[in-house]
Amino acid sequence: MERISKANLEDIARATGVSKMTVSRVLRGASGFSEETRLRVTTEAARVAYVPNRLAAAFGSDAASTLVGVCVPRLTSGLFGHVLDGIDRALSRLGYQTMIGSHNHSIEQEEAWVRAVVSWRPAGVILSGRNHTGGTVDLLRNAGMPVVEIWDLTTSPIDMAVGFSHFDCGVEMGRFLIRKGRRRAGFIGASNRADVMGLARLEGFSSAFARAGHALQDHEILHDSPGFYAGYYGLETLLARSPTLDVVYFHNDEMAIGGLAYAQAQGISVPGKLGIVGWGGMEAASVLPRRLTTTVVPTTAIGKAAAEGLVARLKGEHCEDVVAIATRLVPGETG
Amino acid sequence: MERISKANLEDIARATGVSKMTVSRVLRGASGFSEETRLRVTTEAARVAYVPNRLAAAFGSDAASTLVGVCVPRLTSGLFGHVLDGIDRALSRLGYQTMIGSHNHSIEQEEAWVRAVVSWRPAGVILSGRNHTGGTVDLLRNAGMPVVEIWDLTTSPIDMAVGFSHFDCGVEMGRFLIRKGRRRAGFIGASNRADVMGLARLEGFSSAFARAGHALQDHEILHDSPGFYAGYYGLETLLARSPTLDVVYFHNDEMAIGGLAYAQAQGISVPGKLGIVGWGGMEAASVLPRRLTTTVVPTTAIGKAAAEGLVARLKGEHCEDVVAIATRLVPGETG
DNA sequence: TTTGACAGGTTTACCGGTAACGTAGCTCCA
DNA sequence: TGGAGCTACGTTACCGGTAAACCTGTCAAA
């Protein structure tokens, strides 16, 4: 009974009187064996509780890895949680395992993670964003495996890209607010300057206002995690400096809700005196007493598309290099 | 220049005039070589951009795997995001890779995941909860690797456990509310009946009220993901049925905030007419206009403790089998 | 002078699969 | 009736590390 689970192909082969290779073929569901052999082998495999050794399989044949590396900025973000969920569901349905990491908006940490994950010889890699170190790009190009860059769309991906343009999100929100009559806009970001995607939204937003002849009045980027607190205190800081703002664009919905809480605590009328708009489309944003004006990002769909694109490439099927996933500006009652 | 990254130990050995084994020792930082050799080897390794092959390393020596499997109920939960972050930070600092999966509160899905992850011969596994299939337990026992069960504490873990008691959380909240004069309590859960940990809180809560002579009046368990919507509509449903409730305990903070939103929309005075309390301690809960009464769970600390316990066991260091991490009931302005 | 300990290596065997190729026996058709 | 083409296997070599055992020269102590 002891270490019964340590059985390998050879043990099963001996017990059933066939060769190791035949057992391998049966258990992989390949072809080249009779129904009778299949039955004998699977029965014996079940009896000894055979656990395949993917390490040996992936090592032995360079093409057989079922491992996919995924790196996101933060595991604690509600949005990326849904992206990971979309990826993980799609990949595990297709028989792949995911190796997940986070880099906290540091491309150096991302390179370290890529180095670690490539040493496992994965079938492919999914990264977030379009900004990577030269070392990361070299490593991935040399490894010659499919790479999908998600979240921020680029027209010249390392290999493939699935996502949307953060700059365009900012532009769209800016134009929307100008149409609504807003003129003195501010922005509150967080997660420090390393979050280039948040900054891209700021740039798009700013350029939309500038083009309309109303330059961005002020912005505040906090060195804090982009949550409710940062939104609350960020708005306090920004309004202390620029009390005449008539609308504030927040880095994300969590922060916007924090800002909303501050405005409410101060008796500032929203959207009357001050508009508050977010980004991301977290669930809370649409059920709060006042529905937040925000941009909804189809997170799960992005994850799913990235995973399916990667697998399509692995199987040699055709698949677009760049897949744009549309975001949707949802007007609420706060902007 | 082509496929220069495909260099292996043998290539480096040839180029530097030493044996493969010596190169292996140098690059692993083992001992048994001179400083001059070390320099020659590391220089050559850098020149050819050597990427180690962990597949081969883990395969070749059964003790060398640096892989740790982690399975949580859902990747989209804010709380588990922090747990994963705690685990991932601790493990990557210690040189391990994490393979993350989710099982959506299904122990059958958990078993499937364990089967898949064990086939990668990881160094250890971290699971959530104490409820597993017999197959899961057999698989892990036979594999003979360290296992940490997190989140819900058990006194008889498969191997190790790090967490707290959900039942006790419910009891503590129940007693707190009774002291505050609440008598007619309800509960709103979600994620269907499979979430045994949420149900344990309900049981603890219910038993506290029962012991005080005020049986739980009503409860509603929605077949929906435990988010803001479920809280909003859950409270609507529950109050339609039991309008005289004076306090409602929610599955988590997201749902409680949804409930708060419903109460506010209906003009129900909180906490005057109805108390609303949550569980989990999400950041939003403490900055909203009224601070939510809730139980704060030290998520990151649990992840960190689980990871460090696992590694301690791997290194043969002493480490407690059961580590209790205290939660904290934080009275707010809603209960 | 001998012994032995140690640094600094080398050699060999092996981990458990899989690809590639070989082969025996059978059927089927010209 | 010979051989082409199948099915159902078996054989061999190999993936890239690492453990373990085994060398070899040097230096110090006995």
Give the pLDDT score at B3: 40
Cβ of A264 less than 7 A from strand C:
no
- The identity of residue A79, as a single letter, is L
Mean pLDDT value across residues A183-207: 93
CA distance A120 to chain B (A): 5
Q: CA A56 to CA A62: how far, in whole Å?
A: 10
- Tally C-beta pairs within 8 A across A and B: 164
Q: CA B81 to CA B89: how far, in whole Å?
A: 12
Task: For chain B, say whether A61 makes contact (Cβ under 8 Å).
Answer: no
Contact residues, chain A, for B113 at CB < 8 Å = 92
What string of DSSP letters covers A83-151? HHHHHHHHHHHTT-EEEEEE-TT-HHHHHHHHHHHHTT--SEEEEESS---HHHHHHHHHHT--EEEEE
Strands (E), chain B: 67-72, 97-102, 124-128, 147-152, 160-164, 185-189, 218-221, 247-250, 275-277, 294-296, 322-324, 328-330
Q: CA B117 to CA B108: how far, in whole Å?
A: 14
Contact residues, chain A, for B284 at CB < 8 Å = 227-228, 254, 257-258, 284
Cβ of B32 less than 7 A from strand C:
yes
Of the residues B3, B55, B294, the best mutation for testing chain A's interface (the one with the most A CB atoms within 10 Å of its CB) is B55
Going by pLDDT thresholds of 50, 70 and 90, the confidence category of residue A287 is: low
Cβ of A56 less than 7 A from strand C:
yes
Among residues B325, B239, B331, the alpha carbon closest in space to that of B278 is found at B331
pLDDT of B198-227, one tens digit each?
999 999 999 999 999 999 999 999 998 898
Give the pLDDT score at A213: 97
Going by pLDDT thresholds of 50, 70 and 90, the confidence category of residue B287 is: low
Taking the C1' atom of every nucleotide in all shown strands and the CA of B6, the nearest one is D16
Residue length of chain A: 335
> Which of A56, A116, A142 is closest, CB to CB, to B5?
A142
Query: What SS3 state is found at A69?
Result: strand
Give the pLDDT score at B243: 97
Cβ of B21 less than 7 A from strand C:
yes
> Which of B76, B117, B284 is closest, CB to CB, to A228?
B284
Q: What is the number of H-type helices and E-type strands within chain A?
A: 12, 12
Among residues A332, A309, A319, the alpha carbon closest in space to that of A150 is found at A309
Going by pLDDT thresholds of 50, 70 and 90, the confidence category of residue A1 is: very low
Cβ of A193 less than 7 A from strand C:
no
**B70-83 burial by CB neighbour count: b if 16+ within 10 A, else e?**
bbbbbbbbbbbbbb
CA distance A53 to chain B (A): 5
Task: For chain A, say whether B119 makes contact (Cβ under 8 Å).
Answer: yes
Cβ of A19 less than 7 A from strand C:
no
Which residues, in sequence order, are CB contacts of A234 under 8 Å at separation 6+? A188, A190, A220, A222, A250, A255, A258, A259
Task: For chain B, say whether A75 makes contact (Cβ under 8 Å).
Answer: yes
Taking the C1' atom of every nucleotide in all shown strands and the CA of B10, the nearest one is D16
Cβ of B9 less than 7 A from strand C:
no
- The identity of residue A277, as a single letter, is V
Provide the positions of strand D that have an atom within 7 A of a protein CB: 7-12, 14-20
Give the pLDDT score at A113: 97
Residue length of chain B: 335
Contact residues, chain A, for B118 at CB < 8 Å = 51
Question: Are B209 and B216 within 8 A, CB to CB?
Answer: yes
Instruction: Estimate in Å the CA A26 to C1' C9 gap, whole number.
Output: 45
Contact residues, chain A, for B287 at CB < 8 Å = 228-229, 232, 258, 261
Task: Supply the DSSP symbol for B32.
Answer: S
Instruction: Estimate in Å the CA A146 to C1' D7 gap, whole number.
Output: 36
Instruction: Estimate in Å the CA B12 to C1' D16 gap, whole number.
Output: 13
Question: Are B302 and B316 within 8 A, CB to CB?
Answer: no
DSSP-assigned beta bridge partners for residue A98 = A68
Mean pLDDT value across residues B112-140: 95
User: For residue A23, is pLDDT > 70?
Assistant: yes
Give percent of chain A above pLDDT 90.
Answer: 84
Task: For chain B, say whether A59 makes contact (Cβ under 8 Å).
Answer: yes
> Which of A84, A97, A100 is closest, CB to CB, to B116?
A97
Q: How far is CA A60 from CA A57, A64, B83, B239, in A?
A: 5, 8, 35, 62
Q: What count of other Cβ atoms lies within 10 Å of the Cβ of residue B322? A: 15
Task: For chain A, say whether B71 makes contact (Cβ under 8 Å).
Answer: no
Helix or strand holding residue B44 (H, E): helix B35-47
Strand pairing class (A97-102; A67-72): parallel
Going by pLDDT thresholds of 50, 70 and 90, the confidence category of residue B2 is: very low
Question: Are B149 and B163 within 8 A, CB to CB?
Answer: yes
pLDDT of B150-171, one tens digit each?
999 988 999 999 999 999 999 9
Q: If you search the block for the tokens 């990949």, which residue do you land on? A: A91
Going by pLDDT thresholds of 50, 70 and 90, the confidence category of residue A200 is: very high
Interhelix angle B35-47/B20-28, rounded to 10 degrees, is: 90
Mean pLDDT value across residues B331-335: 93
Among residues B201, B204, B179, B171, the alpha carbon closest in space to that of B275 is found at B179
Give the pLDDT score at A276: 98
